[in-house]
Amino acid sequence: MKKPFDINADYQPETFEFKDKKLVDEILSRYPTYAKKSAVMPLLDVAQRQVSTEGAKAKPAYGGWIPRAAMDKIAEIIDQPPIRVYEVATFYSMYNLAPVGKYLVQVCTTTPCWLKGSSDIVKSCEDYLGIKLGETTEDQLFTMVEVECLGACVNAPMIQINDNYYEDLTPELTKELLGALKEGKEMPAGSQVGRKCSMAITGATTLKDQAKKAGGA
């Protein structure tokens, strides 16, 4: 799904400064000086999280995204033309390049999730939130987008909301989850049907003796 990216949009701030300069320096120190352009991805993440922290205090609250000015600042820091930062930021779905709601609902619709009912999950989000994929609710609380495999296929269908994965969903559980978030409740991440990690839903089936010896279940 193509994500919005308009470097001349009205919502773009003129300037951007990193608040945690120490963190920026620490990230740069992970790479040899000649390869500091490798810091582009963690710096994009820091910029998005900084905007998210500011957004959490705003009224209405909003989520993390990366303004063009932040990408230009990163280009300056890593000594690269801005296009080198734009091309990374536009490629990965984890970077938002336009304002998003406080809760970014990323619905995985790739084959394993699709086989396990992701179309019903999309529909339950659309019905509950009253928006379509790519849209934000009027109160700015939720933005819903479609994403490719998020690597939790074994517990499909699943969605990611901000930093958390919610797995083993049904349309009913999805609506309950969105409802709880709407009321400001923290919801436990992971399997929503009590599955432990990616274990079979019926419990451990292999290596049981070894797990017992190691003090596990």
Question: Which spans of this chain sit near ligand FES (rule: CB under 6 A)?
Answer: 108, 110, 112-113, 149-153, 156, 158
Nearer to ligand FES by Cβ, of 70 and 153: the residue is: 153
Q: How far is CA 65 from the centre of its chain?
A: 10
For 85, list phi and psi in degrees, rounded to 5.
-80, -40
Rounded least distance, CB 198 to ligand FES, Å: 11
Rounded least distance, CB 121 to ligand FES, Å: 10
Nearer to ligand FES by Cβ, of 46 and 105: the residue is: 105
Q: Which residues, other chains included, contact 198 with Cβ-Cβ below 8 Å and sequence gap of 6+?
A: 152, 154, 155
Nearer to ligand FES by Cβ, of 129 and 150: the residue is: 150
Nearer to ligand FES by Cβ, of 151 and 194: the residue is: 151
Q: How far is CA 82 from the centre of its chain?
A: 23
* CB neighbours of residue 46 within 10 Å: 20
Rounded least distance, CB 101 to ligand FES, Å: 22
Separate counts of helices (H) and strands (E) for the chain: 8, 5
Rounded least distance, CB 93 to ligand FES, Å: 12
Nearer to ligand FES by Cβ, of 18 and 114: the residue is: 114
Helices (H), the chain: 21-28, 40-57, 68-77, 82-91, 111-115, 118-129, 171-182, 208-213
Rounded least distance, CB 197 to ligand FES, Å: 14
